[in-house]
Amino acid sequence: MDEKEIASLIKLLDDPDPEIFSHIEDRILSYGGEAIGFLESAWEQSLDTILQERIENLVHKIQYQNVREDLALWYQSGAFDLLRGALIINRYQYPDLNEQKIINQIEAIKRDIWLQMMYEASPVEKVKLINHIFYNIYGFSGNTSNHKDPQNSYISQVLESKKGNQISLAIIYAVIAQKLDIPIYGVNLPQHFILAYEDEQEKQNEENGILFYINVFNKGYIFGKRDIDMFLKQLQIQPEKYFYEPCSHTEIIKRVIRNLISAYEELGSTEKVKELIGLLEVLE
> Which carries the bigger pLDDT value, residue 39 or residue 249?
249
Helices marked H in the chain: 3-11, 18-29, 36-45, 49-76, 82-93, 99-116, 123-131, 155-161, 166-179, 200-205, 225-235, 249-267, 270-283
185 closest CA partner among 169, 200, 174: 174
What is the per-residue pLDDT across 165-213, written as a single tens digit (0 to 9) for each? 999 999 999 999 999 999 999 999 988 999 999 987 665 555 678 999 9
Residue 1: which pLDDT band, with cuts at 50, 70 and 90? Answer: low
Q: Which residues pair with 193 in a beta bridge?
A: 188
Q: What is the pLDDT of residues 45-72, one digit of tens each?
A: 777 777 777 878 888 888 999 999 999 9
pLDDT value of residue 204: 55
Which amino acid, one-letter code, is at 215? N
Residue 50: CA atoms inside 13 Å, Cβ hemisphere, count? 7
Asked whether the predicted pLDDT for residue 90 surpasses 90, the reply is: yes
Select, from the ranges 2-16, 187-201, 262-276, the one with the highest average predicted confidence (pLDDT).
262-276
Residue 12 binned pLDDT confidence (cut-offs 50, 70, 90): low
Question: 241, 151, 230, 246: which is closest to 193 by C-alpha?
Answer: 246
Instruction: Give this prediction's pTM.
Output: 0.88
Reported confidence tier of residue 6, pLDDT bands at 50, 70, 90: confident
